[in-house]
Chains A and B, each alone.
Chain A
């Protein structure tokens, strides 16, 4: 019943195959399929159908005590891919919409998202003043969406499945949220808000709590996006791992069917998480604006 999986020549290796041809150390037929998880890790290599390519690395930059390695890794590469795709897509749509007043096809698809972000996300949460932040929210949405989707392509990777990326995105959102609040309320009122409006002798307790409160929202943004993007991939890889446990080509279709289902779910989650990140950023920005919903304490 159990047929051994035919060995694959090392020349055609991606991480799944690599996992398959690197059996666990000295355990005979047992595969160390934790190698599968390497798929999600950042690395200095890009995988292609015909092999791997080591990305040239910069020497680390030394700034005082800090050592910064700005080398282009797999996730940085796909970050660039997402940025290029987004630039090409958005500019194509912009050019098409300028030419024809009634857009068709791709420009029309873009327009659906743009109108949704403008009306349902920006204006709904920030009021009429939110119109100036629409470009920021649009960039957030599309950039995250494309990064989410890139991992679903074979040999692709999901930069948003890396906490460094989501942390950076959340940091930008944090800066935006504070900037909007200061701009709308004035610096004095913004600082006064940090005291929570309690008696002065409570300030030593209140101010740290309020400042902590400022950070929890973007932190949640960061963790939510990272966990969602990672989770789906882990589920898919775990299901594929069953094949290596069973070691049977007859059993293989079962996990593959499940993986297919999860993959479709992943497409939905990619859109959903991009939307949630954008939506919550807009909500937090709106909370800092006096006209944009209730005040926060």
Chain B
């Protein structure tokens, strides 16, 4: 069992060296090559993914910043609009109030004037009538029949007026 067989040893050496040469060229080289290529590809892909992820994160941050800024702007505009609206409302209400007051005042005055004028006219007309009546009375005195006629005619005239 322990004796060496040189022929077997030589065969082993020859076969082994041939295997190293042949496989080294036709099997291990392409296998190792494609392994290296794949590893490089994976590494590249990972790096690329990492870059893309960082970019996406950056974009997200930017978006968030923009959104926050827009929100702020919006709030400011709303606030300003509200203040402006309040002011305008107050102005309009005040103006309307003043206008109404003025109109009321004017109307009141007009009415008063009209009443005054009417009173004046009434007064003058009553005076005229009194004068006319007095004249007629003076014209047709002493005659009872005449007196009666006079009164009737006067009344008639009055009613006519």
Contacts and interface: CB of A to CB of B under 8 A. Distances in A.
Interface of A: 40-42, 66, 68-73, 75-76, 79-80, 83, 86-87, 90-91, 93-95, 97-98, 101-102, 110-111, 114-115, 118, 134-136, 138-140, 143, 159, 162-165, 167-169, 171-172, 230
B12 A98 contact: no
A91 B26 contact: yes
A160 B85 CA distance: 100
Interface in B3-21: 4-13, 15-20
A138 B27 CA distance: 10
Interface of B: 1-2, 4-13, 15-20, 22-24, 26-32, 34-35, 37-38, 41
A278 B150 CA distance: 163
Contact of B30 (A98, A101, A118): A98
B19 A86 contact: yes
A219 to B, nearest CB: 13
6 contacts: A42-B5, A73-B5, A87-B27, A111-B35, A167-B9, A172-B16
B34 A97 contact: yes
The 9 A-B pairs with the shortest beta carbon distances in the complex, nearest first, are: A90-B27, A168-B12, A135-B24, A164-B8, A135-B28, A168-B9, A94-B30, A164-B5, A97-B34
Nearest to A144: B16
B26 A80 contact: no
B19 A114 contact: no
Contacts, number: 126
B36 to A, nearest CB: 9
A164 B20 CA distance: 19
B19 A83 contact: yes
B38 A163 contact: no
Contacts of A83: 15, 18-19
B7 A71 contact: yes
Contacts of A68: 6-7, 10
Contacts of B9: 164-165, 167-168, 171
A135 B15 contact: no
Contacts of B34: 94, 97-98, 101
Among A66, A71, A90: residue with most chain B CB under 10 A = A90
A211 B7 CA distance: 27
Contacts of B12: 79, 159, 164-165, 168-169
B6 A164 contact: yes
Contact of A111 (B8, B24, B31): B31
B9 to A, nearest CB: 4
Contacts of B29: 135
Nearest to A88: B27
Nearest to A118: B32
Contacts of A86: 19, 23
A164 B13 CA distance: 10
A97 B31 contact: yes
A275 to B, nearest CB: 17
